[in-house]
Amino acid sequence: MRDVREDFPILQRRIGDRPVVYLDSAATSLKPQGVIDAVSGFYTQSTANIHRAIHRFAEEATEQFEDSRRVLARMLNAEAHEIVFTRGTTESINLVRSCFPGLERTLTTAVEHHSNLLPWGFGAGGRIVAVDSGGTVDMAAFEAALAPGVDLVAVSHVSNVLGTIQPLEELIAMAHAAGALVLVDAAQSAPHMPLDVRSLDVDFLACSAHKMLGPGGVGCLYAKAELLERMRPWFLGGNMVDQVHLDGYSLQALPHRLEAGTPAIEAVIGWGAALRYLAGLGLEEVQAHDQALVRYGRERLAAIDAVRVAGPEDPARVCSTLPFHVEGLEAHGVARMLNNRANIMVRSGFHCAQPLHESLNLTPTVRASFYVYNTEQDVDALAETLEAIVAFL
């Protein structure tokens, strides 16, 4: 993949006359100039609300907004009316939880981000399946949990902590055979690999723009059209209705009936620019690049005394993240030292996945996560700084 660092203005910033090494993309990604220009262009060229007025600005804004929906649909191999814009993955998951009828018996896993655990794993009918030491779903336990009858399985495609890629095709096939619908949390996979909702036969899929080079505050829920038709609108208000009278109202067609009120128009437009940028790179190339950095990172960190890498040992089973411990130091202390010594920015703590850490007997971890703008030199900087920290101790 070509060197794209020049496309990201923030990487030109220096702190204390040193460059920054950004290794926190699993939390949020940096933004290329084209995305910044798209958001700025909305403000400077066509600021208006969408789907309402017929003046020039409104028509331009509406077309840009809906073009982002079409671009995202093509990327997922979905139809445009199967894409509902939300505020992010968390809202998308909760939209299904609150609006789809009959979800009384649900199943999720111990590897989930809190956003895909709290809505399903607690309360009547919720079951949580264990994972192995590498973060892969225990398939025997999964099959056994399906047997009593489950309405919906909610599973992350990629662990936000360990980077473990789940055997999604097998999980979906097993769930469907048992009569369950499947919701996939793709927050960590959509930015890094091709996804085909038709081939996967997934029922619901959620992802966020800010993890895939886009702005914050917007995400999407994909769902099969026949399932969206069964969902009750969560919010009532402007644009989601076709006709309103004093004695009742009628709903808009999909997907607008599930998008009440004024959306984050500039964020959606910016996401469209991000999606086109990723398409230009090729998501197959992105995935290969990220996995190469994971492989190199595991090799470098494994050679350092007192550093212990968590997650699957096979880099082919890992997407973009490298979690680790430094013996004798707590995670926040390591992250602070990396930042102070070399402007290396990582995440530390439970990463909104405390039950996963506890089920695997892990203390809070340090997580380096990679994306298109990272290089082997970034991994070298991480390893060399960790070597210096260990030597100092």
d(CA 37, CA 39): 6
169 by DSSP, 3-state: which? helix
Read off φ and ψ for residue 30, nearest 5 degrees: -75, 165
User: DSSP H helical segments within 132-264, as ranges?
Assistant: 139-146, 168-177, 197-200, 225-228
Residue 389 corresponds to which tokens in the numbers above?
């920290």
Q: Let me know if 319 is a catalytic residue.
A: no
CB 294 within 8 A of CB 368: no
The percent helix, strand, coil of the chain (3-state, each to 5) is: 45, 20, 40
Nearest CA to 204 out of 100, 74, 131 is that of 100
- The set of residues, in sequence order, having a beta carbon less than 8 Å from that of 325 and lying 6+ positions away, is 307, 308, 310, 331, 362, 363, 365, 366
CB 353 within 8 A of CB 162: no
d(CA 349, CA 364): 4
Question: Considering just the CA atoms, what is the radius of gyration of the chain in Å?
Answer: 22
User: DSSP H helical segments within 196-264, as ranges?
Assistant: 197-200, 225-228
d(CA 266, CA 54): 19
d(CA 82, CA 69): 9
CA distances from 24 to 184, 221, 235 (A): 22, 24, 33
In single-letter form, the type of residue at position 218 comes to: V
| Positions marked catalytic | 352
